[in-house]
């Protein structure tokens, strides 16, 4: 009888040891998979992607223009342009957009009547009923307690905002590479 109890304890200990070894192996495999998992790629600011309901080409001298109509969407990096119509000059990588115009990224949304964008220089201008909505800058890793205690040092004025800021103006220039938006007067 003592032999059966010892054998039972030995089998139980062996089973527990095997389970622990199996758990360690599974944890190591899982950790290795997590380390090998690729992180999301940074947006490519040189690549331009577009889509539309209809597209056609026309020529202006030697310059080929892609005419896009209906649910037009251009994406460059993390910046998206939406419009009803866009004429895109391939040689200069410039676009003229109109109709339900909206340009946005994770921090800003800008709407207006018309827009001209130079994708190569990452610059543009919007005119007519321009409305910019800027979200507060998110501070990674800062807790509500740090904010309340005043221990965190603001990186910029935008990091101090609590709510969205809305600016309306007749026209604006923008630079997507630095995400700087500047309200301005329309130029003659």
DSSP string for 84-148: EEEEEETTTTEEEEEEEEEEE-SSEEEEEEEEEEETTTTEEEEEEEEEEEEPPPP-TT--HHHHH
Residue with tokens 């998110």: 138
pLDDT the model gives residue 119 = 85
pLDDT the model gives residue 179 = 45
Residue with tokens 């119509």: 85
Output the tens digit of pLDDT for each of the chain's 188 residues: 555 555 555 556 665 665 555 555 555 555 655 555 565 555 555 688 999 999 999 998 888 999 999 999 999 888 899 999 999 998 899 999 999 999 998 888 999 999 999 988 888 999 999 999 988 876 665 544 444 545 555 566 666 778 888 889 998 888 765 444 444 444 43
Domain locations in the chain? 48-183
CATH architecture type of domain 48-183: Sandwich (2.60)
Residues with Cβ within 8 Å of 186's Cβ and at least 6 positions away in sequence, in order, are: 127, 170, 171
pLDDT the model gives residue 186 = 42
């Amino acid at each position: 009888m003592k032999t059966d109890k010892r054998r039972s304890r030995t089998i139980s200990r062996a089973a527990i040891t095997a389970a622990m070894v199996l758990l360690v192996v599974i944890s190591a495999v899982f950790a290795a998979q997590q380390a090998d998992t690729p992180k999301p790629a940074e947006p490519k600011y040189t690549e331009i992607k577009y889509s539309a309901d209809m597209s056609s080409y026309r020529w202006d001298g030697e310059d080929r223009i892609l005419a896009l109509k209906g649910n037009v969407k251009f994406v460059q990096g993390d910046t998206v342009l939406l419009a009803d119509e866009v004429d895109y000059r391939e040689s200069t990588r410039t676009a003229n957009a109109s109709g339900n115009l909206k340009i946005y990224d994770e921090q800003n949304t800008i709407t207006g009547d018309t827009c001209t964008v130079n994708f190569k220089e990452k610059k543009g201008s919007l005119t007519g009923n321009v409305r910019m909505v800027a979200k507060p800058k998110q501070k990674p890793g800062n807790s509500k307690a740090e904010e309340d205690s005043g221990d965190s040092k603001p990186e910029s004025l935008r990091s101090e905002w609590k709510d969205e800021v809305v600016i309306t103006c007749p026209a604006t220039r923008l630079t997507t590479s630095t995400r700087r938006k500047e309200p301005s007067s329309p130029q003659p």
